[in-house]
Amino acid sequence: MKEEKLIQPVEVKIVEKRSILFVASEANPFVGTGGLADVIGSLPKALAKNKDLDIRVVLPLYSDIDGAYRANFRFEGNFNVPLGWRNQYCGLFSLKYEGVTFYFVDNEYYFKRKGLYGYYDDGERFAFFSKAALEMLSYLDYYPDVLHAHDWQTALSVIYLKVLFADRYGYSKIKALFTIHNIEYQGKYGHELLGDLFGLPDYAKNILDYDGCINLMKGAIQLAERFSTVSPRYASEIKNPYFAHGLEYMTSQNEYKLCGILNGIDEKTYDPSTDDKLFARYDAKDMSGKAVCKAELQKMLALPERAEVPVIAIISRLVGHKGLDLIKCVFEDILNEDVQVVILGKGEREYEDYFRFMAERYSGKCRAIIAYNKDLACKIYSGSDIFLMPSKQEPCGLSQMIACRYGSVPVVRETGGLADSITPFNDENRKGGNGFTFANYNAHEMLYVLKDAIYTFGDKKVWEKLVSRAMKTDFSWKKSAEEYKKLYSDMCSAL
């Protein structure tokens, strides 16, 4: 009898990768002006560790992007981007970097300029970028499951996707997630720009209209399947007029699709045991390097080299919502203590001038460096003992997390991400926590808590434990990246 050959069926599992495209206006290490760049530089990388996720990011190709990165770019091609009556050139480059594919949108008319923002035609520049990010998809024949846009600069990518591209092949299934990093900047324009500049049909006016003008953030909130903020506390705060900068009706009405996910930081970048920008390396087990960092910082800034005096650091954009008015109100009281204060940052003239003036007046104990300087920032985080961040509003805030990593104990106001990341040592038990917190936007409440930190610094045993807890707090992306993954998957499985 003929033997029957049995063919065993082989089970082939096809694991389809879920694909996410980040659309953003800045990302470290390529180009950045603040916290958004940190997030776009680190969250995609953390997500890309999941084998079942395909993570890509698209950015404008600003002239500030270093030649060293450009040298490794791959030219993907070029196409035209229609924008109102315009038809603009768009070159497309790509770079695989730390597991993530980055695309760079090239147009020298829009992006061959110094800096990132602040031009009269920013609306047009980011409209072009948002449109190009979508045109790019059919050019590459790559249609992500989720388009994840960030802040007002890329709100139009969500609006275009839903208004202009919804019927085009490949685009109809793409879900949109819009993340608000700061609700203060919404992208507001006159109605006359709807068709002429943004190239949107008349019926889109209803979607974008808010408070007598076109509001791009409002449009994205309305049209995205989901929207999010960078901390749970801020997600609940932006329903409140005090925080919402006029958008409270929108955020409340769309509450059902809102969630808050706390940012993490890249723990490899911000690690005092490996950071070669520091004067010395250290970790929670061996803190001798931190003493060197402090002494060297004092020397560099020509401050008296005293280990026993607490160094208070303020590293911040010098703008109103960072709570600088509280500091101004009681700054002399702070400086009358036996402390040293170091300020690093730039921003509004009023604050720059004020801190310069005070640094001259209190030249034996105060220094103000009016600049944005990442290397110096790390030296100050590591050389300081207390980190003051009394923000009026803070969607997430990364500096308080970085300060913890470098053993500089944060003193923060309980708002947004500050409330979600810093737990108070100054509660009734005085045993746990990773910092000092106060609730009200009140200068003397801040002063009271800051003085508590200054005096606690004098109690070496208690202080060392507090510093160690701060340094060991888990600020990695692990948990939050999981939350994003779940959010993407919920969005994709929803009808």
Residue 219 binding ligand GLC, by CB under 6 A = no
Give residue for tokens 């008015």.
325
Q: What residues are paired with 253 via a beta bridge? A: none
Left (φ > 0), alpha (ψ -120 to 50) or beta: where does 302 sit? left
Residue 395 binding ligand GLC, by CB under 6 A = yes
**Shortest distance in whole angstroms from residue 34 CB to ligand GLC:** 5
Give, as ranges, the residues between 262 and 301 that touch ligand GLC (CB under 6 A).
263
- Using Cβ positions, the residue closest to ligand GLC within the complex turns out to be 35
Residue 57 binding ligand GLC, by CB under 6 A = no
Terminal alpha carbon distance of the chain: 56
Alpha helix segments (H runs only) across 177-323: 193-196, 205-208, 216-223, 232-237, 241-244, 248-253, 288-300
Give, as ranges, the residues between 20 and 39 that touch ligand GLC (CB under 6 A).
34-36, 39
Within 10 Å of residue 336's Cβ, how many Cβ atoms?
Answer: 11
Of the two residues 26 and 54, which places its CB atom closer to ligand GLC in the complex?
A: 26
Q: What residues are paired with 313 via a beta bridge? A: 342, 387
Q: Which stretch binds ligand GLC (CB under 6 A): 63-71, 139-147, 395-403, 420-428?
A: 395-403
For 119, phi then psi, to 5°, come to -95, 155
Q: Which stretch binds ligand GLC (CB under 6 A): 160-168, 208-216, 303-311, 389-397?
A: 389-397
Within 10 Å of residue 1's Cβ, how many Cβ atoms?
Answer: 3
Residue 351 burial class via C-beta count within 10 angstroms: exposed 0-12, middle 13-18, buried 19 and up: buried
Residue 154 binding ligand GLC, by CB under 6 A = no
Residue 230 binding ligand GLC, by CB under 6 A = yes
Single out the residue of 297, 398, 466, 491 in contact with ligand GLC (rule: CB under 6 A): 398
Single out the residue of 106, 135, 385, 394 in contact with ligand GLC (rule: CB under 6 A): 394
Q: Give the 3-state secondary structure of residue 311.
A: strand
For 402, phi then psi, to 5°, come to -65, -45
**Shortest distance in whole angstroms from residue 184 CB to ligand GLC:** 8
Q: Write the binding mask 158 to 197 for ligand GLC: x where contact by CB under 6 A, - elsewhere.
A: -----------------------xx---------------
Q: Which of 290, 262, 261 is nearest to 378 (CA)?
A: 290
Residue 389 binding ligand GLC, by CB under 6 A = no
**Shortest distance in whole angstroms from residue 319 CB to ligand GLC:** 9
Residue 207 binding ligand GLC, by CB under 6 A = no
Give the C-alpha separation, 405 to 408, whole Å.
8
Residues that bind ligand GLC (CB under 6 A): 34-36, 39, 181-182, 230, 263, 394-398, 417
